[in-house]
Amino acid sequence: MSDILSQDEIDALLSAVNEDDVEESPSHGDAPVAESLPEEPSFDESFSIDYDSDDDDDIGDRVLSLYDFRRPDRVSKEQMRTIHNLHEGYARLFSTTLTNYLRTFVEIEVVSVDQLTYSEFIMSISNPSCIHLFQMEPIDVTAIFEMNPSLVFFMIDRLFGGLGRGSENNRELTKIEQNVIRSIVSRGLGDLSGAWEHMGSFNPRITNYETNPMFVQIVPPGETVILITFEVHMLKSSGLMSICFPYQIIEQIFSELEGNDYLSTTAETTPETIKTMEEEIQDVTVPLSALIGKTQISIRDLLQLQTDDIICLDKHKDANLIVQIGGKSKMGAKSGVSGRKKAVKITKIFEQEFPAPGKTNQGKRFTTSSLEDDFEENVFADAGEDTTKEDSHE
């Protein structure tokens, strides 16, 4: 019986095959000698193409791409596009937040959205760095929010009254600096929750802070993660910021959401969608109220109020009422009774929004009395005292 080849002999044979030069393998005792092995098929030999067929043009345009079976893509291309579009909106939200918070113009753009192994992501982070671990509650999986040190020191210098200069030495943050950056990251996670709101209700919460990436272990090294990389531009400085989501988060989020669902929300509005929205909005309820009147009393009178006391409002008994829809004055009406319920009769529909009582308009404060005067002079001039004309909106 022939001896079994050793691992070194197997490696030598494989190396010879890759070099298209098969030589005799070193024998071990009476081990067989490999005289010839079939060459490894190339891409041209792996595909049988009939150039005499009718679709020669289509075949000639085909492009072959490599696929690594050791690292299969767990997130589809449609989902990757959805994640990219989703975080483009997040970049706009966070740039506005940082602009207001740092009192300087900040622009954030999505550089890339990649899926890679967790070990590759850890190796790409500098040491020390600014790493915040957080959870997208109610999903009980930890993710990473990482900021480049040059970007961190620019923000700290800006918030401490400086012009926004980075640190010459890459060092760890002090306790005070950590608290400052934590507030910025909290605002960033709040914007992240707003960008994800159409996919569910999430409450991001910071769980830990770390500077050494080697001490951060949220998933096994070979596990697939989604890395979203942002570039932050501020004045004459720029830096990178990244968010790393384990595959478990993406799997739970997209379990009930297909990639096209998000893309369809950004598509151009068509007459069919407008008609559908008009039909759906018919059943939406809005709050409607009739403002009878208001008044002001002192604290002394308020404390002395008892049952059967009468409070006089700053409105005449025959005065018109203000009908408000969603807190905005839209109609004028007369009070009355319909069956056993109190009711109002619409006498006028405002073409323009009438200022609600107590609101200001170009420095003028409207009171109930001034509103009533404007109603009598302008709004109800054509309604008449008895308002005998029936209104179709009654």
- From first to last of its 394 residues, the chain has per-residue pLDDT tens of 446 777 777 778 777 766 654 444 444 444 444 444 445 444 444 444 454 555 555 555 666 666 666 555 677 788 888 889 889 999 999 999 998 888 888 899 999 999 888 999 999 898 888 999 999 888 888 999 999 888 888 888 888 887 777 666 778 888 998 999 999 999 999 999 888 887 778 888 999 999 998 999 899 988 889 999 999 998 778 889 999 999 888 887 776 555 445 444 444 567 877 888 888 788 888 888 888 888 888 999 889 889 988 888 877 777 788 888 888 888 888 888 888 888 888 888 887 655 555 444 444 444 444 444 454 444 444 434 443 333 433 3
pTM over 0.75: no
- Give one DSSP letter per residue of 34-49, joined into a string: ----PPPP-HHHHS--
- Helix locations, the chain, DSSP H: 7-18, 43-46, 56-60, 77-102, 118-123, 149-159, 175-195, 247-253, 259-265, 271-281, 299-303, 368-374
Domain with CATH 3.40.1550.10 in the chain: 77-265
Tokens 């009178």 -> residue: 301
Question: Residue 91 and residue 188: Cα distance in Å, rounded?
Answer: 9
CA-only gyration radius of the chain, Å = 36
- Helix locations, 105-241, DSSP H: 118-123, 149-159, 175-195
Q: Which CB contacts under 8 angstroms, 24+ apart, belong to 362-365?
A: none
The domain made up of 77-265 has a fold known as Chemotaxis protein chec (3.40.1550)
* Contact assessment for residue 190 and residue 209, using Cβ atoms and an 8 Å cutoff: no
Distances (CA, A) of 227 to 80, 108, 112, 121, 250: 11, 16, 8, 8, 11
* Contact assessment for residue 151 and residue 181, using Cβ atoms and an 8 Å cutoff: no
Number of DSSP helices (H) and strands (E) in the chain, helices first: 12, 12
Q: Angle formed by the axes of helices 77-102 and 149-159, to 10°?
A: 30
